[in-house]
Amino acid sequence: MSSTHSSENIAPQAGDESVTVLGRALNSVLSAGREILARRRPVTTAAAGSTQALVDLCSELIEHRGEASGLALAQEITESYRQLSTDDRLEFFKRLATDFDIDREALLTAAELYRQDPAYANLQEITRATEAPRQKLFRRINTAPDGTRTLVALRGELLKLLRQHPELKPVDADLKHLFVSWFNKGFLELRSIDWASPAVVLEKLIDYEAVHEINGWEDLRGRLREDRRCFAFFHPAMGNDPLVFVEVALTDGIPGAIAPLIDRNREIMHPDEFSTVVFYSISNCHPGLAGVSFGNFLIKNVVEVLRKEVEGLKNFVTLSPVPGFRRWLKNADLEGLVDPSLIDKVKAPVNRTVVEAEVQAALTRLCAHYLIREKSGALAKDPVARFHLGNGARLHRLHWGADLTGKGLEQSGSIMVNYLYDLDKIEINHEEYFDEGKISAAKSVMRLLPQD
């Protein structure tokens, strides 16, 4: 992507010199490791770039002991994986599931020994036997300079295949298990992003924005003006590649539509008028980190930062889509939820033309029902609702016609939601949601629910 945003005048970030020194040291170790491998490694019979060649490298890495040569070998694996075709990657995933799985007989033997003698040493044998060799493989690949990023991308590819290839689920489970440890809160760095941030970071924002598309550099500049903020979590192993970021609007009230918030030609308010923090877009940047939670920490950290930075803030809310609403609505049995004469109308696509008032009202009531009463297990069915309610927010208000973009109409029927973060009740709401399945909602929202 070309850009008019120059990084030439951006001051070096703190620690750049130490990073350069570390990089030179790492390159020196890698170079030595490659020389050692070249001297020791026998000629392989598998064709370079093939799945079998990569599997052979992985087997070699698991058994390898040398530090420098092991690092070089791990880098070889990351480079070889990136060169595989889509079909070869699927084959590689299958080999990970079979060739690097647990040894069933060893596990049963260890369990029998523990049954006979529940000594700690025998328990340790069970622990070792229940860890698939691929976990050791992934940990060693992670030592390569681009190992973490490669493994995250690998899982992103793997997740696309699980529905058709459920036999790969153990591989996914092992990667997720490792990622939860590697990307825990203690390793995350919160950064504020503005127009002076490195161009590579700003490009990532444009590429990764998943809620409200950023249409080029001028659009991005508008989202980083004085009345807007952007924060992201970064991880040392991922460099300037954010894990998740949130876009924030500072306003004088709780908004009911997205267009004014992202209008780059809007009138900028005076800071003394700010009373409300609006989280209007949260984007997870890497599909391979699905299931590894960052957003809850991000919102809470941003709240603390902004409370110190801006005086007079009273409200902390979102303006959120309802991405699962229309998908649920199309297939839902609406008997008893809406007047029979309106069923076909509420199931029909919503467009930008005038919608009958009774249809608007019916859709809003159905959306309230969907958010509060439709569940996935004991939790809210809608993924965005599940996220914010799980963080302790309250379902505060629904807005018809809040998002008239094609995506907003297709997914949410134009409806958007305010989730309110009442700082005194976040922990209570969080506990009640997970312990009792209770959804905190304003009385005005509860009154929208269709009567049983």
Q: From the centroid of its chain, how far is CA 299?
A: 13
pLDDT at 375 (0 to 100): 94
Same domain, 347 and 436: yes
Query: What pLDDT was estimated at residue 125?
Result: 93
Rounded Cα gap, residues 58 and 193, in angstroms: 39
Task: Kindly state whether residue 66 falls inside one of the protein's structural domains.
Answer: yes
Is residue 2 in some structural domain? Answer: no
Range of the domain at 130: 16-182
- As to burial, measured by CB atoms within 10 angstroms (0-12 exposed, 13-18 middle, 19+ buried), residue 2 is exposed
Nearest one of 307, 226, 303 to 271, comparing CA atoms: 226
Percent of the chain with pLDDT over 70: 91
Tell me which H or E stretch contains 301.
Answer: helix 295-309
Distance from C-alpha of 344 to C-alpha of 341, rounded to nearest angstrom: 7
Residue 42 confidence (pLDDT): 60
H-type helices in 277-405, by residue range? 295-309, 325-331, 343-347, 357-373, 383-390
pLDDT at 13 > cutoff 60:
no
Question: What CATH number did the domain enclosing 118 receive?
Answer: 1.20.140.90
Looking at residue 452, what is its pLDDT?
59
**Based on the domain organization, do 199 and 276 belong to the same domain?**
yes
Q: What are the structure tokens assigned to 422, written together?
A: 């009442």
Q: Are residues 278 and 334 in the same domain?
A: no
- In angstroms, rounded to a whole number, what is the distance separating the alpha carbons of residues 442 and 450? 15
pLDDT tens track for 151-180:
999 999 999 999 999 999 999 999 999 999
Residue 72 identity (one-letter amino acid) = A
Place of tokens 């909602």: 441
Q: Would 451 be classed as within a structural domain?
A: no
pLDDT in tens, 319-354: 999 999 999 999 999 999 999 999 999 999 998 777
Structure tokens that stand for 27 in this block: 């390159």
**Least confident among 217-221, 291-295, 320-324, 424-428:** 291-295
CA atoms within 13 A on the CB side of 140: 25
Does 413 fall in a domain? yes
Angle at 427 between CA 422 and CA 432, to 5 degrees: 105
**Do residue 384 and residue 426 come from a single domain?**
yes
Clarify whether residues 205 and 140 are in a common domain: no
61, 166: one domain = yes
Q: What is the pLDDT of residue 18?
A: 45
CATH number reported for the structural domain that contains residue 361 in this entry: 3.40.630.150
For residues 135 and 36, membership in a common domain is answered with yes
Distance CA 232, CA 243 (A): 7
Among residues 153, 182, 211, the one where a domain terminates is 182
Q: Which residues make Cβ contacts (< 8 Å) with residue 16, sequence separation at least 6?
A: none
Report the pLDDT value the prediction gives residue 20, as an integer from 0 to 100: 60
Q: Is residue 452 part of a domain?
A: no
Helix or strand or coil: residue 297?
A: helix
Domain boundary among 318, 347, 370: 318
- Is residue 9 situated within a structural domain? no
Both 196 and 177 in one domain: the answer is no
Query: Does residue 142 form part of some domain?
Result: yes
User: Do 40 and 129 reside in the same domain of the chain?
Assistant: yes
- Regarding whether 238 and 160 lie in a shared domain, the answer is no
Would you state the pLDDT for residue 22? 56
- Pick from 219, 214, 215, 228: which is nearest to 278 by CA? 228
Taking only the tens place, the pLDDT of each residue in 254-283 is: 999 999 999 999 999 999 999 999 999 999
**Arithmetic mean of pLDDT over the chain:** 90
Q: Is the pLDDT of residue 1 over 70?
A: no
In a domain, 7, yes or no: no
Q: What is the DSSP track for 43-104?
A: PPSSPTTSHHHHHHHHHHHHH---HHHHHHHHHHHHHHHHHS-HHHHHHHHHHHHHHTS--H
Query: Would you state the pLDDT for residue 31?
Result: 73
- Average pLDDT (88-96) is 97
pTM: 0.86
pLDDT confidence tier of residue 8, bands split at 50, 70 and 90: very low
- Report how many domains make up the chain: 3
Last residue of a domain, one of 182, 216, 236: 182
Q: Determine the Cα–Cα distance for residues 202 and 206; give it in Å rounded to an integer.
A: 7
User: Does residue 229 share a domain with residue 270?
Assistant: yes
Contacts of 83 (CB under 8 A, 6+ apart): 49
Angle between helices 86-99 and 51-63 (to 10 degrees): 40
Q: Are residues 329 and 409 in the same domain?
A: yes
